[in-house]
Amino acid sequence: MTLVEPDLRRAGSSPPAAPVEAPNWVPIRSLAPRHRARIARHLLALPTHDRYLRFGYAASDDQIRGYVRQLDFDRDEVLGIFNRRLRLLAMAHLAYAPDEGDPDASAEFGVSVAASARGRGYGRRLFDLAALHARNRGVQTLLIHALSENAPMLRIARRAGAEVVRDGGEARALLKLPADTLASQVEQIVESGAGEWDYRFKHHARRMQRLKEALSALAHRR
């Protein structure tokens, strides 16, 4: 049976009746081919059930490695949240349909958050930023495939104003995106700058920490 749930807060139409509380701000950066190993490590650490929720099937290690190998960083966007040790805690894949610029242009959103980092608002933050990126690229509809049992994912989508259509054990959430504005473009530039700066800072801090450890090991040897 197909069940269409009411679209509570459709983006781009009437504003929500009550202000929607923003998730805690956390820097997010765009990932590049050089991050493939970190992406693979993050996905391979997901337990079987999470892989099932993420991909719609219990992806094997080989299937995950294949997925990571085939990520197209030119066509799509991959966004990530790192901890201070530069471990990838959460990532989102925004897959653009080839017909960008089309009146029905769409993109598909997929996300995963490490089990130890759930409930901090990372999933929602990634969703909101991915929606902003998609909007700024002229995408009109953001699509999310999820299992009906996936309460957190469906909550994130509904909260953003998506229409959720359930079909048995599966659900499709469709979020209509408004046209981009100067403000939405500037917001993306600011977010990207902050994400990049944060990553460099952590990278530098990590190198300094290693250097300090090496020097102290050397001092102890004398």
State the residues that interact with ligand COA by CB under 6 A: 23, 50, 53-54, 110-113, 118-124, 146, 150-153, 155-156, 159
Min separation Cβ 38 and ligand COA, Å: 16
- Candidates 95, 158, 171; CA nearest to 123 is 158
Judged by CB, which is closer to ligand COA: 11, or 180? 11
Min separation Cβ 217 and ligand COA, Å: 37
CB neighbour list of residue 34: distance below 8 Å, 6 or more residues apart: none
CB neighbour list of residue 156: distance below 8 Å, 6 or more residues apart: 123, 124, 127
Judged by CB, which is closer to ligand COA: 97, or 180? 97
Min separation Cβ 116 and ligand COA, Å: 10
Judged by CB, which is closer to ligand COA: 165, or 180? 165
Min separation Cβ 49 and ligand COA, Å: 8
- What are all long-range contacts of 187-194, with beta carbons under 8 Å and residues at least 24 apart? 187/132, 188/132, 188/133, 188/136, 191/28, 191/129, 191/132, 192/29, 192/30, 194/27
* Three-state secondary-structure class, residue 205: helix
Residue 123 identity: G
Judged by CB, which is closer to ligand COA: 30, or 150? 150
For ligand COA, which residue has the nearest CB? 123
Judged by CB, which is closer to ligand COA: 52, or 73? 52
Residue that is written with structure tokens 């901890």 in the block:
83
Min separation Cβ 75 and ligand COA, Å: 19
Judged by CB, which is closer to ligand COA: 155, or 210? 155
Min separation Cβ 222 and ligand COA, Å: 47
Dihedral (C-alpha) 126, 181, 13, 128: value to the nearest 10 degrees? 0
Judged by CB, which is closer to ligand COA: 149, or 213? 149
* Dihedral sign computed on CA atoms, order 134, 191, 144, 98: positive
φ, ψ of residue 179 to 5 degrees: the values are -65, 155
Min separation Cβ 139 and ligand COA, Å: 17
